[in-house]
Amino acid sequence: MALILDGKAVAAAYKAKIKAKVDALAARNITCGLAILLVGDDAASRIYADRLVKLATGLGVRAVVRHLPADAAEEEVLTLVRELNADGSIHGILPMMPLPPHLAADRVAAALAPDKDVDALHPLNAGLVATGKSRWAPCTPRAVMAILAHYHIDVSGKHAVIIGRSNVVGKPLAHLLLGQNATVTVCHSKTGDLAALTRQADVLIAAAGRPALIGPDMVRPGAVVIDVGINEVNGAVVGDVAYDAVLPVAAAITPVPGGVGAVTTVMVVEAALRNFGDL
């Protein structure tokens, strides 16, 4: 039976650090502000926004959700980004991805003030992640790395197989894993014979957004399985891994909920506080 990689335990250590920083700011009458930019109503983004508001508020960080309709014009979105860039009470901006298909995610990313860019989406920050020189990476890949570090899972020389090539998860995570000397394969919806690749993984990371994509036949016995998926199925939140079936095959596995997602949210709040330095 696999070791369960408990995201809540990893999150707890970060929450304590965040609380100390928030208290130090409060003593100087400063409140950190996080703006969440949600366009349309992607289910995973809505779950994420709800969670972030609860967590940030509980930790003493002001979180505001700026919600635009799914058919918002690009100029409307860009105007809102510029407004948040200029707003001195906002220290971090998180545009929820994916954006509706008529909007160009790269133009929204490029409009962000690089210093307020919580998810390292601006081309400057994304480029620094790709060259291994960044001060910070997107929050979900950082959460994956934090879980691996917490459980002393060394990826050096290991084969990490990522399913998903988004700018928010798959691509930056590949760079972070390469930085730790893993051998990385990135798979996606056009990959032929996915199972042949996933079965070679020492560390298998599913970030496809497809419930039960990963069954036990796709997992090498003894592999570490990291489930990044957040899917809503009949009102319940499930990942991309058929958890109960994979549990007896894997050496270690993250649950959903309570795995990567639980760490990602604390990474966002931590990122919003970054502009205040170490204190």
Which residues fall in the annotated binding site for NADP(+)? 164-166, 230
Smallest gap from Cβ 138 to ligand GUE, in A, equals 6
Q: Which of 34, 168, 182, 238 binds ligand GUE (CB under 6 A)?
A: 168
- Of 22-30, 95-103, 154-162, 269-277, the window that binds ligand GUE (rule: CB under 6 A) is 95-103
Residue with the CB atom nearest ligand GUE in the bound state = 261
Q: Map the footprint of ligand GUE across residues 112-151, applying CB under 6 A.
A: 119, 139-140
- Residue (187 or 267) nearer to ligand GUE, CB: 267
- Of 63-71, 75-83, 240-248, 259-267, the window that binds ligand GUE (rule: CB under 6 A) is 259-267
Count of residues that interact with ligand GUE, criterion CB under 6 A: 23
Show the binding pattern over residues 8-47: x = contacts ligand GUE (CB under 6 A), - = does not.
Answer: ------------------------------------xx-x
Show the binding pattern over residues 210-239: x = contacts ligand GUE (CB under 6 A), - = does not.
Answer: --------------------x------x--
- Residue (25 or 167) nearer to ligand GUE, CB: 167
HEC string of the chain? CCEECCHHHHHHHHHHHHHHHHHHHHHCCCCCEEEEEEECCCHHHHHHHHHHHHHHHHCCCEEEEEEECCCCCHHHHHHHHHHHHHCCCCCEEEECCCCCCCCCHHHHHHHCCHHHECCCCCHHHHHHHHCCCCCCCCHHHHHHHHHHHHCCCCCCCCEEEEECCCCCCHHHHHHHHHHCCCEEEEECCCCCCHHHHHCCCCEEEECCCCCCCECHHHCCCCCEEEECCCEEECCEEECCECHHHHCCCCCEECCCCCCHHHHHHHHHHHHHCHHHCCC
Residue with tokens 């965040």, as numbered in its chain: 18
Smallest gap from Cβ 157 to ligand GUE, in A, equals 28
In the complex, which residues of this chain contact ligand GUE (CB under 6 A)? 44-45, 47-48, 51, 94-97, 119, 139-140, 168, 230, 237, 256-259, 261-262, 264-265
